[in-house]
Amino acid sequence: MAVPERVKNKMKEEGLTGVNKPKRTPSHPKKSHCVMAKEGDTYKFIRFGQQGVKGAGKSPPTAKDKAHKKSYYARHDAQGKSASKQSAKYWSHKVKW
């Protein structure tokens, strides 16, 4: 199935290279990343992540980073129901944490 014209226009406007490919947005006042998410036949433009805050990464090196990651996951119910690709939670966990 081809990508709808409205989706192509939004991706071009935001400078995205493809569907489900996140991009940093350093000039955005509040959000650090954006992505055009696709799940099934539905497309959704999502902004996620707090500007200026670094995630601890997949394997945090210091105890402070480990605590930061642990509290982030506690706040965002990481062990609960898995998030859809159509949610900022999914992309934030995938990209920043």
- 48 forms bridges with which residues in the sheet? 33
In whole angstroms, give the CA distance from residue 36 to residue 64: 33
Residue 81 has pLDDT above 90, yes or no: no
Q: What is the mean pLDDT of the chain?
A: 90
- Ramachandran sector of residue 57 (left: φ over 0; alpha: ψ -120 to 50; beta: rest): left
Residue 53 has pLDDT above 90, yes or no: no
In the sheet that holds 31-39, the strands lie side by side as: 23-24, 31-39, 42-50
Q: What is the pTM of this model?
A: 0.85
More confident residue, 79 or 51: 51
Percentage of the chain lying above the pLDDT 90 cut: 60
Q: How do residues 2-32 score in pLDDT, each as one tens digit? A: 889 999 999 999 999 999 999 999 999 999 9
